[in-house]
Structure 1
Amino acid sequence: MSSHGFELPLRLLLAFRMLIDELHAELARQGHPDIRPMHGFVMQAIGPDGTTAVELGRTLGVSKQAAGKTIDTLERIGYVERTTDARDTRRKIVRLTPYGMDALNRSARIFDTLRAHWAGELGEDRLNALEADLRTMTPGNPWRLDTPGWFGNL
């Protein structure tokens, strides 16, 4: 079967969308109904040590204001908290709450389950080959957290 060039990025995006939709459906079942796909990028960028709104915006490729708006949302639904930096009291740090860490930990386990499902459908060897081929064709670091900014904003 012959494919058109435009089909490759659409299929890759569709696969991404399916995995993310399945992840969020399962997260909702496991007690995280309010988390949205973009929140995962934000929470990964905040990381275990926390960050500032300026640093978060830079990492995500968005403005400080856009980062701040998302922080407000995540704070309201319980995933992050604002604290004062112990080393510099003028500096405000955004940290993940235990609820936020729970969402990230559950996400990792759910992604493992989703991968296992794909391996069951395609076969482990074919899935390993697909992942190896994608590693060959993409940059070495898969943690491009600036996707929100690349898509246009949060």
Structure 2
Amino acid sequence: MKNVFNQVDAETLIRRINNLRPETKQLWGKMSVAQMLAHLNVTYEMVYEEKHPRPNAFVKFILRKLVKNKVVNETPFKQNGRTAPQFIINNDKDFETEKSRLISYIQKTQQLGQSHFEGQESHSFGPLTSREWNNMFYKHLDHHLKQFGV
């Protein structure tokens, strides 16, 4: 799996994002390209902002037991998989705003680097290794960029 903490890999992701256009159509699923970018931004909002409520201890326990491994392993996500409610984007989003935000988040993550994320507490899963953080970030980005053909 590619590494979001590696500058070359981060730049490759950004190039793929820059190949998107407001009129780019999805190959599967229901989100528009702007909604997809906003959807991807949710992951980073959970890391860098206090925008989303944290799950209580019971829900976090369930997420760790039932969801964590699927999110942090290296197995790609399946098409049309289920997502958590906070990741569902139903309203229209501004393509350029969401694109700019996502690129900034990717750059920030790469610049903070692997050591910053080692043992860092996840919003939903508790402490993760830097490898688990990378897998979560990269495979989510890659999955949705493939969804839109880039």
TM-score range, shorter chain: under 0.3
TM-score, normalising length from structure 2? Answer: 0.26
TM-score, normalising length from structure 1? Answer: 0.26
The structure that is helix-richer by fraction is 1
The answer to which structure, 1 or 2, has the higher relative contact order (CA under 8 A, 6+ apart) is 2
